Structure 1
Amino acid sequence: MARLDAQQLLENAMAETGLSDWADDSFQERFTLAVAHIQSIPMDEPGRQAAAENIRWLLTDRLRFFDDRNRFPLAAEVIERPMFASGEPRSGTTLMHALMSVDPDARALRFAEVMHPSPPPGTIEGADARYLLADAEWREINAKMAKWLHCHPYNDMLGNGLPEDERTWAFDFRVMTPTAWWRVPMQNLAMGLPTDAPAQYRIHKAMLQAFQYRRQPKYWVLKGFHTTRLKAFFDTYPDATLVWLHRDPVMVAASSTMMMADIMEGIVGQIDLVKEAQAHLERVRWSIGHTMSDPLVNDPRIHHVRYTDFVADPIGTLRGYYGFAKREFGARQEQAMRAYLADNRGDRHGKFHYSTQVLVDAGYAIGDLNDEFAPFRERFGVPVEVRG
């Protein structure tokens, strides 16, 4: 079986595009590590071919994207007072972002643009073909990972869907997300490649600049897991505001476990739920530990909200965040958001089932976990969440 050759893959992408600037002196070394990781995963020949084609897509996109910054004055674009939703996974951030995205005065990232970021959308006359391409790709994703729609019904938006900010880094080979690697039969989509938060945020900002160029002025509304990278985040966006949703960490671990099991089952088959639960609980422990120790958690640009309050009154919660961010929240915003809630039931593709039983089955005592996270609950007023 042919092995993936990192240098040959790089050379092929340069030959295909006629470009050679990777825009990062460390990129080729990091890419070689990523290829070595992929090479270590048992795959048949079709899987290896899928990996090679996926890499070709990401490499050529990277070269073209950074070349756009030479062809157009994208670096001059000012990203003014962007609004971000953040928090632990499964804490309501996606719904909050979806509601913000229908604000008629706002602009959100869209999968079609992030998955195929060149050329800048504002330079295209007429219909943007990347939306048809991304729609087809998302139909493939939804067919392969049908259970994902149960916990993440927003995937029915296809190419017009709302990516997390981390998806802008797919072609940087620091993380490997399901929406970039769904055709490749491997489970370890997030692994120990070298990370560099300031460099990653530079790419994120570059995408906002590219997607804003020559388009109607609007403010950005975004969503990502920024809470463990606050210094780099605010260094990049000093006039940003961030609404941080806080949820019961035990329920976060349980829900995340089942969500990722549903996603990965569509890619690699049966998942070991015990190992998955252990991994997610450890990630939650690490993240909550960071929250409890980082002094920037108290930054005045952060608006802290309880998940339970958002679920009880999503519109009121967003009105509060807009007031905090000094953005108008008028009838246009409220009507658009209420219409979204009425037209997009969370269980429209089926009920997502999860409970803390998955943690019990992995050997954890829920009472002990509740005690472990008690200081976090007390600090942010987060109640123990009971789910039948």
Structure 2
Amino acid sequence: MAGSDDFGGDDSWREGLNLLCDGLATEARLNDIGVEIAVLDIIRPMVSRLQITKWRKENPAVAAQQISRPIFIVGQPRTGTTILFDLLAQDPELRPPLTWEVDNPHPLPRSETYATDPRIAETQASIEMSEQIVPGLLAFHPMGALHGQECVRITAGQFCSMIFSVQYRLPTYYRWLLYDADHRPAYRYHRTFLQHLQSGVPGQWLLKSPAHLWQLDALVAEYPDALIVQNHRDPLNVISSISALTHHLRRLASDDSSITDCAGQSCEEIVVGLERGMKLRDSEALAGHRIVDVQFADFVRDPFATIRALYAELGRELSPVAEQNMRAFLAAHPGDGGGGRYTWDDTGLDAGAVREQVREYQQRFGVPDEPLK
């Protein structure tokens, strides 16, 4: 399938793979379709890793390519990171990794066929199949072959990625990921993956994943000149929203999922992530590293004022073409405000207790309480 059995000299990915496979077999409560999905979710990144390793050895100059001033959008999930990412991706001066090329990175994407590659249709068909299995999934979390893809889909190739612990019930794996895993090899592989893609279609990288908030030190160690944007929102509404999304995703592969189970994991991850993020921003590892903060409330109130201010902070100019593209995208994707897809009561968590856990974060960054949905 990959034309190679060489995974490269670093075999640290095997630890995560072993834990993942154990969890899928003993904890994930997979249904028959879930087993098929899980097998594909393991095989796809392994094949990509083999193909990238082979191409890199055949084309050693790729390893010397620079990745300059990549922009990373981080922050808690469900804080507007996706729509901000999608809007900035309309800037022709920025280069997001698209879903189709992340899922199928070989052969290399090419500028002349970047919008017509047959892998686009294949990827889109797979996404639409997910919507058929769990109707409403794409309304909850818009996806598409031509949409920018999150970095967790890239670090899946190291099997050290939050994508697995969100999509599947994996309590042992997610606690390893949260507390014990060494994420530095995942960021090295992330760089390898970006070098591979940009050897076909170059550009200044625009990247996004809430998972980076948990590992800011590993991120800046690999990308010392990274430009980091952190979104902020009331963590309680974040927890209820991500719990419902996690439940929706897990229903693709399991008939036995509950929002309360998802909420327990989401709450632990969010609280740990916010605490760790604050400590890292005060640490020597990030000393002198500037991070631009974006308030969710400001973005919702006036997205283009927020984007102009962000561009000024990043030392960029918002060109008329970029703004026009962004406005067209926003008009075509207005969102539905979340509707009634989740409520705090669904989580089964004590709002007062969780509020106390996140109060320091809210005070530090001036994040207001929101009415609980």
TM-score range, shorter chain: 0.7 to 0.9
- Cross-structure match for 2:148: 162
Report if the CA contact (8 A) 1:146-1:266 is conserved: no
CA–CA separation in structure 2 for the residues paired with 1:274 and 1:133: 35
Q: Residue 70 of structure 1: which of 57, 60, 77 is its match?
A: 57
Q: Residue 103 of structure 1: which of 91, 94, 99 is its match?
A: 91
Structure 2 residue matching 1:102: 3-state secondary structure: coil
Determine whether 1:282 maps to 2:271: no
Q: Residue 250 of structure 2: which of 264, 270, 275 is its match?
A: 264
- Cross-structure match for 1:10: none
Q: How does 1:1-388 map to 2 (within 5 A)?
A: 17-41=3-27, 48=35, 51-72=38-59, 73-122=61-110, 127-152=116-141, 154-155=142-143, 158-175=144-161, 177=163, 186-188=168-170, 191=174, 192=176, 195-215=181-201, 217-225=202-210, 226-294=212-280, 295-296=282-283, 299-347=288-336, 351=339, 353-359=341-347, 362-364=348-350, 366-387=351-372
Runs of 4+ in 1 over 6 A off after TM superposition: 123-126
Structure 2 residue matching 1:385: 3-state secondary structure: coil
- Cross-structure match for 1:8: none
How far the C-alpha of 1:129 sits from its partner, in A, is 2.6
CA–CA separation in structure 2 for the residues paired with 1:50 and 1:84: 29
Note closer, same or farther for the CA distance 1:318–1:49 as it changes in structure 2 (3 Å cut): closer
CA–CA separation in structure 1 for the residues paired with 2:37 and 2:71: 37
How far the C-alpha of 1:37 sits from its partner, in A, is 2.9
- Cross-structure match for 1:5: none
Report if the CA contact (8 A) 1:19-1:64 is conserved: no
* Structure 1: gaps of 5 or more residues: 1-12
How far the C-alpha of 1:243 sits from its partner, in A, is 1.0
How far the C-alpha of 1:176 sits from its partner, in A, is 6.4
Larger radius of gyration: 1
* RMSD of equivalent CA atoms: 2.8
Report if the CA contact (8 A) 1:54-1:181 is conserved: no
How far the C-alpha of 1:92 sits from its partner, in A, is 0.6
Residue by residue over 1:255-299, the C-alpha shift from the partner in whole angstroms, topping out at 9 and shown as x without a partner, is 111111122223212522222222221222111221332214775
Report if the CA contact (8 A) 1:253-1:280 is conserved: yes
Structure 2 residue matching 1:121: 3-state secondary structure: coil
Note closer, same or farther for the CA distance 1:91–1:340 as it changes in structure 2 (3 Å cut): same
- The two structures have a TM-score, normalised by structure 1, of 0.84
Note closer, same or farther for the CA distance 1:69–1:270 as it changes in structure 2 (3 Å cut): same
Note closer, same or farther for the CA distance 1:387–1:119 as it changes in structure 2 (3 Å cut): same
Residue by residue over 1:336-376, the C-alpha shift from the partner in whole angstroms, topping out at 9 and shown as x without a partner, is 1111111111129x8352232224xx151x24433443222
One-letter code aligned to 2:134? M
Structure 2 residue matching 1:21: 3-state secondary structure: coil
How far the C-alpha of 1:302 sits from its partner, in A, is 0.4
CA–CA separation in structure 2 for the residues paired with 1:162 and 1:31: 25
Structure 2 residue matching 1:222: 3-state secondary structure: strand
One-letter code aligned to 2:369? V
Note closer, same or farther for the CA distance 1:313–1:280 as it changes in structure 2 (3 Å cut): same
The number of residues matched between the two structures is 362
- Cross-structure match for 1:9: none
CA–CA separation in structure 2 for the residues paired with 1:338 and 1:75: 37
Note closer, same or farther for the CA distance 1:44–1:252 as it changes in structure 2 (3 Å cut): closer
Q: Which has the higher contact order (CA 8 A, sep 6+)?
A: 2
Report if the CA contact (8 A) 1:68-1:120 is conserved: no
Note closer, same or farther for the CA distance 1:81–1:354 as it changes in structure 2 (3 Å cut): same
Note closer, same or farther for the CA distance 1:334–1:290 as it changes in structure 2 (3 Å cut): same
Which has the larger displacement, 291-300 or 159-168?
291-300
Residue by residue over 1:221-260, the C-alpha shift from the partner in whole angstroms, topping out at 9 and shown as x without a partner, is 1111212211111121111111111111111111111111
Report if the CA contact (8 A) 1:241-1:325 is conserved: yes
Percent of aligned positions that are identical: 28
Report if the CA contact (8 A) 2:154-2:193 is conserved: yes
Report if the CA contact (8 A) 2:214-2:277 is conserved: yes
Residue by residue over 1:302-346, the C-alpha shift from the partner in whole angstroms, topping out at 9 and shown as x without a partner, is 001211111111111111111111122121221111111111111
CA–CA separation in structure 1 for the residues paired with 2:67 and 2:157: 22
Structure 2 residue matching 1:309: 3-state secondary structure: helix
